[in-house]
Structure 1
Amino acid sequence: MRIAGEILSQFQNFIKSHPEDKEIAIVSHSLGTIVLWDLLFAKDLPEDDPAHEFREFFNSNKFALKLCGIVTMGSPLLFMRLRQNIDFSYVDDFVETSNKNLIWLNIIHASDLIAYPLGNAIEHDKSDNYFLFTDQFLWMHANGAESGALRFGQAHAGMALAMADAHGGYWSNDVVADLMASLVIGDLKTLTTKRVHTGWRSYSEDTHS
């Protein structure tokens, strides 16, 4: 709850400093995606939980803010779904209350053992098409050590050498930046057709090569 309170305080300061910004995109990473889930979507929270006040920014006429998109990177949400009350239909409830559309972009690096795709679970849970969800995969080596290990057939060593850089490298990845830009400008064609990105070429679901 202390973390949620700090995020709420920082967001309040942002809104005061940038009153002209009415469309908001929130980017989260790793365990931060769990925090974001609690802030926006979790049910049965204590009355004094800062999440209630945080959601008012998007679900009341007082602020007139639109949550246009969220980005999750290296997210263990699917893993945590087995251990916590994570029901992705709660996103439907949030968007229906806010009467606005939402784009959710989930990015997974192939060498990131913490990251999970969420598309199938979300399709299973959600009750309507209130929001657009897309998994996007980064299929590239995380570092030179991984590349070298794989070149010599050392798959397990490559996995170990890549893990930390893959999980922490989203912030400096050019493909991630391009995908975020597509979300911000509302480029739905890119978000719904590009699936696997090598850094120099993107393979769509219909590509068999």
Structure 2
Amino acid sequence: MTTAYEKAQLAGQNAVRTAILDAAIRLLADEGPAALTVRRISGDVGCSTKVIYTMFGGKDGLVEALWREGFARFGRALAAAPRGDDPVKHLAALGRAYRAYALAEPNYYRIMFEAAVPGFRPGPEAYAESRETLAILVGVVEECVKAGVFTEGEPAAIADTFWMAAHGAVSLELAGIFGPEEGERRFHMLTTALVRAYGTQSRPGPAEPDQERNRQ
């Protein structure tokens, strides 16, 4: 029987890396962080432990690779959010993309934001990359300030407030506190409340999710 490693070898190094990360994220999801060992991952993939040590340097390097992969996927999800002339609508679209990513990739999300692997700390370069992923949010907040729809303030600090709120709402939904429909509704309520809190004048909040989908 052909192993995942043997199949990936035919496609090149990137495919081997993906196969190893896929095995690691599955183990983390199914059995928790204790199962995330080089020996266990190599056994699941069908390669030697040397392959993983050569490619990632060991378990810490592998977990950091999962962290980076999560943020790479997250960045693509945010970049794909619909843009338009209204920065508030773009901000709302980023919020929906944030929530959708977290629900679609909960295991990566937990590595990124919820310390799913105890003791892991990303290196300076990986951490800088993660913050860069959120730069799109800061940029849209800057547009809101320049357009006069948000009060004057430090865009990075305002963006962090939106991020903190989104993370809290998504974490509750991932924990099963809210179902999908209620989670979506509550997320929209939270986004609307923040937009109004930072707004310089009375204006309607972002469109309801169903209304926004109908326009796309």
Choose between structure 1 and 2: higher helix proportion.
Answer: 2
User: Which protein shows a greater Rg?
Assistant: 2
TM-score norm. by structure 2 comes to: 0.32
Whichever structure has more strand as a proportion of its residues is 1
TM-score (norm 1): 0.32
